[in-house]
Amino acid sequence: MTQKQLIAIARKHGTPVVVIDHEKIRQNYATFRRHLPKIQAYYAVKANPAPEIIRTLYKAGASFDVASVAEFLLVHENIEKLPAKERQDFIWDKIIYANPIKPRETLEALDQYKPLLTYDNPEELRKIKRYAPNAGLVLRLRVPNTGSMVELSSKFGCDSGEAVDLILEAFRVGLVVEGLSFHVGSQCANFDNFVQALNIADAVRREAESRGHPIKILDIGGGFPVPYDSHVKPLRDLARKINAEIGRLYRVSGGARPVPCRHRRHGHRPRYRQNLP
């Protein structure tokens, strides 16, 4: 958007005025995809739930991270007219409900959609079993948040030492754990947080697999720093570090591979998940 266009908008509507440049949104999404090509990018709807932004990103091919029923339904508006199978495929493959703590009413409202839900404690597991038994699960891990502007590990995530027990308990009660997730904290300037988190998740994945439960999704959360000033390292530097660590942890003959991602109710392409800040 040019300065001339911005001045015209200010004259027409007065100031202060908020202007959202949808071309910039598309460019930002394309930048994430270019630097992190093996990762499926999820827009965190809570960052700005404007329906127009969601629609722009939906058309661009983005996936969505939601944290309330209202946010879920804002995304769902874009797919409600799709054929039933295509609509359900989108929910399974491109929406994750990332709030680990959910009231009964939320779970009851979501169950009909057979969504992917996060959890991080036994009580939440019991609630999901009772009120949203059709959901798939992702276990959120507590990881280092050192150097992040907003530290989240004190609120969300289980210790890695209890993670496999929570996975085993989910399967014991008849639920299916599809994946693992973590969040290194908002505006994370310490890129080593991602390296440590990936290794913590990989250790849990390996132990779960040794106990007979392969992990199919790895959600690497958000925290990608916005370049407010010159002191913030560019995304390409973080992407290089993430890509290298994923390649190292999941290397097989012929190159790196993602964690195989196949939903229990439908097959999907291999992917990692990542949330746009």
Tens digits of residue pLDDT in 258-271: 443 333 333 333 34
Coil vs helix vs strand at 148:
strand
What average pLDDT is seen over the chain? 89
Coil vs helix vs strand at 84:
helix
Q: Domains in the chain, please, with CATH?
A: 22-276 (3.20.20.10)
pTM to 2 decimal places: 0.88
Q: Name which of 7-16, 76-85, 144-153 the model is least confident about.
A: 144-153
147 Cβ neighbours under 8 A, 6+ residues apart? 185, 188, 189, 190, 193
**What's the average model confidence in pLDDT over 169-174?**
98
**Cβ-based burial of 144 (10 A; exposed 0-12, middle 13-18, buried ≥19):** buried
What is the band of 273 on the pLDDT scale with cuts at 50, 70, 90? low
Dihedrals φ, ψ of 149, to 5°? -65, -40
CA separation, residue 24 to residues 19, 27, 28, 44, 178 (Å): 11, 5, 6, 17, 34
Answer yes or no: is pLDDT of 251 > 80: no
115 Cβ neighbours under 8 A, 6+ residues apart? 72, 91, 95, 96, 97, 132, 135, 136
Percentage of the chain lying above the pLDDT 70 cut: 91
Q: What is the pLDDT of residues 101-154, one digit of tens each?
A: 999 999 999 999 999 999 999 999 999 999 999 999 999 999 988 878 887 777
Cα angle 14, 15, 20; round to 5: 100
Rounded to an integer, what distance in angstroms lies between the CA atom of residue 163 and that of residue 170?
11
Whose CA is closest to 127, among 106, 154, 97? 106
**pLDDT of amino acid 43:** 96
